[in-house]
């Protein structure tokens, strides 16, 4: 199994909006991707810090998820709202 980990910093007042957007756009699209094994999001509401972890069956599946797709577009919509992404 392989994982992609994204660390992001949002303004704390955006936390609920970001969680809702993630649930409504990223999670459904990620689950449609070949080799998807799940997703986990950790947030600190007070600081606005978040960690997204997506799980993939193979390295090829993880790499394929980087190609243009509704999943990638949904992920970019979230990270565009961040003040910092690693």
* pLDDT values of the chain reduced to their tens digit, one per residue, 86 residues: 999 998 988 889 988 888 888 888 888 888 888 999 999 999 999 999 999 999 999 999 999 887 756 666 666 677 666 666 66
Domain boundaries, the chain: 17-55+66-86
Please report the pLDDT score of residue 69 as a whole number: 66
**Distance in angstroms (rounded) separating the CA atoms of residues 27 and 13:** 22
Between vectors from CA 75 to CA 73 and to CA 66, what angle results, nearest 5°? 70
Q: Are 21 and 79 a contacting pair, CB within 8 Å?
A: no
Please report the pLDDT score of residue 53 as a whole number: 93
Please report the pLDDT score of residue 38 as a whole number: 93
**Distance in angstroms (rounded) separating the CA atoms of residues 55 and 65:** 11
* Residue whose tokens read 């910092």: 84
* pTM, to two decimals: 0.78
């Amino acid at each position: 199994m392989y994982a992609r980990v994204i660390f992001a910093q949002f303004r704390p007042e955006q936390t609920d909006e970001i969680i809702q957007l993630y649930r409504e756009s990223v999670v459904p699209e990620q689950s449609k991707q070949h080799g998807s094994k799940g997703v986990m999001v950790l947030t600190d509401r007070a600081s606005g810090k978040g960690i997204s972890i997506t799980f993939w069956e193979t390295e090829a599946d993880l790499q394929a998820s980087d190609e243009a797709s509704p999943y990638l577009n949904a992920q970019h919509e979230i990270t565009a709202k961040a003040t910092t992404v690693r």
